[in-house]
Copies of this chain bind each other. A is one copy, B any other.
């Protein structure tokens, strides 16, 4: 198969209500757009949600790391390229390139996905599924950003915000949706930070699911070892106990 067919390329426009107060696309909407883009890419190649749902399987995102020079601006067009970098037994790595209106690669993202059985919530062996056909799409296009890191919180982590998962947080599986977590994490920071610095890198690891009515505590710790950036590690815990997400935000 040609490398060209392995890489999907999709064009978008930054909608006026999808920007933050600086006029730039938000990380939450970029994340949403990447999930849609992943969905289109896999559907076009026969392993998308709508195909595998018939077999009672669904894709779940496990990790996402995005690094970007400058977010596209209101009304600008941008493109996403996406491809499968690796397929393992239980996970697959999917990468993205973010291309601005002038054709310049302004950012990249790495994501890790599993496929689960909707009824049992157990993972599916990707190497066996459809005779391992997904492996035919593996492609080694460049993705010059670090892999998702192991996020650990220092002992000084404090609960800085708490909320109860509401109607608009939950998706069709009754779980808080992946994009809402990103928005809630980014809401932990004051606008002064966004005014003076740029969210250079954002990471999130989805560890467990939370549901409607769950209390979510956001625990924040600043990593002061990086002298050049403001680096924050975040844990989201549900009902005072189980960790739901770990996240990292790097402002430059």
A residues within 8 Å of B by Cβ?
A: 15-17, 19-23, 26, 28, 32, 35-36, 39, 49-50, 74-75, 166-174, 177-179, 183, 186-187, 189-191, 194, 212
Contacts and interface: CB of A to CB of B under 8 A. Distances in A.
Stoichiometry (number of copies): 2
Contact of A49 (B16, B178, B183, B190): B16
7 contacts: A16-B172, A17-B177, A17-B179, A20-B167, A21-B170, A21-B212, A166-B187
A118 to B, nearest CB: 14
A171 B36 contact: no
Contacts of A179: 17
Contacts of A28: 168
In order of increasing CB-CB distance, the 10 nearest A-B pairs are A166-B187, A168-B183, A23-B172, A21-B170, A17-B32, A191-B212, A167-B187, A168-B187, A21-B174, A167-B191
A36 B19 CA distance: 13
B75 A170 contact: no
Nearest to A21: B170
Contacts of A168: 20, 26, 28, 183, 186-187
A19 B170 CA distance: 9
B26 A39 contact: no
B17 A36 contact: yes
Nearest to A174: B21
Nearest to A171: B21
A50 B21 contact: no
